[in-house]
Amino acid sequence: MKQPIIALFLIVFSVGLLPAQNQPTPYHFKYKKGYYQLMKPVGKKVKVEPFTFASEFSEGLALVEKDLKFGYIDSTGQTVIDYRFYDAGDFHEELAYASIGGKYGFINKKGEFVIQPQFQVAREFRGGFAKVLKDNPDTIKFGSLDLVYAIINKQGEILANRYFSGIYSNSDDDYFTAHINDSVFHVAFDGSIRFHEVEIDNQDSILHEGDMPEYPGGERGLRKYIAMNVRYPISAQVNGLQARCYISFIVDTEGNIKEVYPANQTYPILMKEGVRAVSGMPQWKPGMQDGKPVKVSYTVPINFVLQ
């Protein structure tokens, strides 16, 4: 088997805002020599075969992988939902996104699709809504974007029955901020839309280099963290999977890492490992604008390469 190399090449940033993470359960996984061993709250191993990838428990179930297919186990290690999904996510609000046949939908804890696969990408439910992406239906309206965004409710209905170039949520408000190119809208939870403004490219709104968030030890420290903490999944190595994964995250006003998510489409097992590693980063020095701390969204490319 070829030896893996993991490399970080560059960092780009933009301003953004997204909600907080789910809380873990006492059952957890211990990683050792390329495998995840299920552990009891008292620190003893659960007598089940270890996994080549596992996500921590969310709402009583843990997402695990076998032969590049995803399924779910309970705290005894018993398979609750079979390994049959190309991609899948943690359970939030009793639902999880899952991909089968090249499309994403949402399943319940029986593994049944309650929102049928129809999207190119999907994110988890938060506050009764989930972000989804579909192929760009109108290049005149949305330009060269490959995917456009929408928000759905738990019935699978598209909020406001419209797609946008981008959508941002704010837990302090009862609406989403969405945009189509330079036009910004407020989309309320009841589906009503209000035009907000036209964004103007203003040099004063750009964060200068000295004001950007900074990892402890700077870029060199960040590269070292990535090199030491990203784990090349054994199942990906065995199957010869290589890719550059773009992982986005929010550095909040206190320097905490929030809402880590894949920013491109490639092998789910590699994207999930990138998300796991970035989620564990220590607190950063927050970004500053006009003398005040601001939320900043970074995108970190991580290369998984076999040699």
Q: Is the pLDDT of residue 100 over 70?
A: yes
Supply the pLDDT for residue 25.
Answer: 63
Supply the pLDDT for residue 147.
Answer: 84
pTM: predicted TM-score of the whole model, two decimal places:
0.84
Q: Average pLDDT of 106-133?
A: 95
Round to whole Å and give the CA distance between 121 and 132.
6
Q: Work out the pLDDT band at 98, boundaries 50, 70, 90.
A: very high
Q: Average pLDDT of 18-35?
A: 72
What is the percentage of the chain residues whose pLDDT exceeds 70? 86
Supply the pLDDT for residue 205.
Answer: 45
136 within 8 A of 152, measured Cβ to Cβ: no
Supply the pLDDT for residue 181.
Answer: 80
DSSP string, 76-125: TS-EEEEEEESEE---BTTBEEEEETTEEEEE-TTS-EEEEEEESEE---
Round to whole Å and give the CA distance between 300 and 123.
19
User: Domains along the chain?
Assistant: 4-16+207-306 (3.30.1150), 27-125 (no CATH)
Rg (CA), the chain: 20
Alpha-carbon separation of residue 181 from 134, 185, 187, 207 (angstroms) = 17, 11, 16, 21
Strand order, beta sheet including 103-107: 87-88, 96-100, 103-107, 113-119
Round to whole Å and give the CA distance between 112 and 241.
29
184 within 8 A of 175, measured Cβ to Cβ: no
pLDDT, one tens digit per residue, over 268-307 is: 999 999 999 999 999 999 998 888 898 888 889 999 999 8
Q: Is the pLDDT of residue 95 over 70?
A: yes
pLDDT, one tens digit per residue, over 127-168 is: 899 999 988 888 778 777 788 899 999 999 999 988 898 887
More confident: 24 or 64 = 64
Q: Which of 41-45, 80-84, 165-169 has the lowest mean pLDDT?
A: 165-169
pLDDT, one tens digit per residue, over 265-275 is: 899 999 999 99
Q: Is the pLDDT of residue 22 over 80?
A: no
More confident: 171 or 234 = 234
Supply the pLDDT for residue 158.
Answer: 92
More confident: 65 or 166 = 65
Supply the pLDDT for residue 81.
Answer: 98
Q: Work out the pLDDT band at 198, boundaries 50, 70, 90.
A: low
Q: Is the pLDDT of residue 207 over 80?
A: no
Q: Work out the pLDDT band at 49, boundaries 50, 70, 90.
A: very high
What is the percentage of the chain residues whose pLDDT exceeds 90? 59
